[in-house]
């Protein structure tokens, strides 16, 4: 019985080479529509930022707000792609900080910056250039301005949606008596990751996050960004925030359809719901629940907890895949903790295989999306391309990064050697500081060869 169940699952989650190539074609079409401001599942948001030259110099501070862990980073750029002097402080936002008012939230950020300045003995007379990583949906209007479209990730501070978050930050600085700070740049974690890597790697032109959520950005020629209108000069480049989590030209299983229907955002973020850590565990729960109802798993009996939405987290899938015991003893322990009294070895194999299929599909979708972005920049992959990537799923899900590289080889053939993927830790903060440097235009003449 378990063998037939596994075969059905394998067919459901299969993503063939032909299907991935069709996905790449659809991805290109959606990218073109988004760049032209036609209706598209890809928003293709101009960031008003470009790659650094590697010659930028000076001392900068960056704020990194993308969840309840808020970071402040300082670094010194020396030119020649060299940075040093990293100092990091982390602050934990409480529920009341993120759900009360914008004044309280931004007041917390300003007080944290003030503490950072004091503890690092930065003179109150010293002018500070700052970059702000704000990883929420923003309608960017310039390199140092953008309005919050809607809160996500459990945030709900009132009086922020529809307002310029940089202006709110500046006001909070003034109220805390640290008006010597200039907010030079607004960015998100994906753009920050690209910029952080490209400061020392000139081949880097794509940034990717695959973690709790997923997104990507890339460097586009200005003349191709039709939505910027006639005022856009024909030469030069700009980083585009793809917002690829919303890509919807994907084959969905019955489990995907159920997850989407029961989610807080039905008919949205379809790629994210198949790839990101936020949803991998839920796909697994729905598979297990479905197989229990057919009496294929656990003899048709399982704790009522399996009816609870989002019961399983992405960590569950990761822990199952990390189980190297011959009898899947670690998986058995995990299931017992969830209230499954005595899962058989056949049960354990089905759960294991379900996790493998979920992970493999996520990796294949991610790899196809990466190849789509690279071939949008360079259709025949003539040049070298470095993909700066970060996120818990890419870094920690067993076998995931290896599968992505394998599938890029499958799709790119001989050209795959020109596509390099590099884990770029904490790039979101450092990248914001570098974008602040770009906006000031501080480049040392001594760096010229």
d(CA 131, CA 54): 17
Beta bridge partners of 77: 58, 83
Select which of 64, 129, 189, 256 is catalytic: 189
Q: Residue 201's CB: how many other CB atoms inside 10 A?
A: 18
Q: Which residue do the tokens 């007080």 mark? A: 111
Q: How far apart are CA 299 and CA 284, in angstroms?
A: 18
Q: Say how far apart CA 337 and CA 334 lie, in whole Å.
A: 5
Q: Considering the candidates 153, 289, 396, 418, report the single residue annotated as catalytic.
A: 153
Neighbours of 240 (CB within 10 A): 26
| Annotation marks residue 153 as catalytic | yes
How far apart are alpha carbons 139 and 365 in whole angstroms? 27
Q: What is the DSSP letter of 42?
A: -
C-beta of residue 307 within 8 angstroms of C-beta of residue 289: yes
Has 59 been annotated as catalytic? no
**Cβ atoms 242, 32 nearer than 8 A:** no
Q: What is the DSSP letter of 94?
A: P
**SS3 call for 357:** helix
Which of 94-97's residues contact partners 24+ apart within 8 Å by CB, and which partners? 94/68, 95/154
C-alpha–C-alpha distance, residues 77 and 86, integer Å: 10
Taking the C-alpha atoms of residue 184 and residue 179, their distance in angstroms, rounded to an integer, is 13
Nearby residues of 235 by Cβ (< 8 Å), 6 or more positions away = 222, 223
CB atoms within 10 A of CB 10: 14
10 Å Cβ neighbour count for 207?
A: 34
Alpha-carbon distance 137 to 352, whole Å?
Answer: 35
Place of tokens 């199952």: 320
Q: What is the DSSP string of 153-169?
A: TT---BT-BTSBHHHHH
Tracing tokens 């008006």 back to the chain, one arrives at 179
CA triplet 192, 245, 199: central angle to 5 degrees?
15
Active centre residues (catalytic): 153, 189
């Amino acid at each position: 019985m378990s063998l037939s169940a596994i075969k059905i699952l394998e067919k459901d989650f299969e993503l063939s080479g032909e299907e991935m190539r069709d996905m790449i074609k659809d991805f290109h079409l959606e990218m073109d529509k988004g760049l032209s401001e036609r209706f598209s599942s890809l928003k293709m948001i101009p960031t008003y930022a470009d790659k650094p030259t590697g010659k930028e110099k000076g001392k900068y501070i960056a704020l990194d707000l993308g969840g309840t862990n808020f970071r402040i980073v300082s670094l010194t750029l020396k030119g020649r792609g060299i940075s040093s002097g990293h100092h990091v402080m982390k602050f934990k936002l409480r529920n009341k900080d993120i759900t009360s008012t914008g004044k309280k939230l931004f007041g917390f950020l300003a007080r944290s910056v003030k503490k950072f300045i004091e503890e690092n003995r930065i003179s109150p007379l010293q002018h500070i250039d700052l970059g702000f990583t704000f990883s929420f949906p923003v309608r960017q209007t310039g390199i140092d301005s953008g309005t919050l479209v809607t809160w996500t990730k459990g945030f709900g501070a009132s009086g922020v949606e529809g307002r310029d978050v940089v202006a709110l930050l500046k006001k909070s600085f003034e109220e805390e008596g640290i008006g010597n700070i200039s907010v030079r740049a607004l960015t998100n974690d994906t753009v920050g990751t690209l910029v952080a890597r490209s400061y020392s790697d000139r081949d880097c032109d794509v940034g990717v996050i695959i973690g709790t959520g997923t997104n990507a950005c890339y460097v586009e020629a200005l003349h191709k960004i039709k939505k910027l209108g006639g005022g856009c000069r024909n030469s030069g480049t700009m980083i585009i925030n793809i917002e690829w989590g919303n890509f919807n030209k994907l084959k969905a299983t019955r489990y995907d359809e159920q997850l989407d229907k029961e989610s807080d955002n039905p008919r949205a973020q379809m790629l994210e719901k198949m790839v990101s850590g936020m949803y991998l565990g839920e796909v697994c729960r729905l598979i297990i629940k479905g197989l229990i109802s057919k009496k294929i798993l656990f003899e048709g009996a399982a704790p009522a907890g399996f009816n609870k939405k989002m019961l399983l987290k992405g960590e569950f899938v990761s822990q199952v895949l990390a189980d190297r015991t011959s009898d899947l003893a670690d998986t058995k322990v995990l299931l017992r903790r969830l209230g499954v009294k005595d899962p058989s070895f056949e049960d354990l194999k089905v759960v294991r295989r379900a996790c493998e299929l979920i992970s493999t599909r996520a990796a294949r979708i991610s790899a196809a999306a990466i190849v789509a972005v690279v071939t949008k920049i360079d259709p025949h992959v003539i040049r070298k391309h470095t993909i700066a990537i970060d996120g818990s799923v890419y870094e920690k899900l067993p076998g995931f990064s290896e599968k992505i590289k394998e599938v890029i080889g499958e799709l790119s053939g001989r050209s795959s050697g020109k596509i390099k993927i590099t884990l770029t830790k904490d790039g979101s903060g450092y990248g914001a500081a570098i974008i602040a440097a770009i906006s000031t235009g501080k480049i040392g003449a001594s760096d010229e060869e």
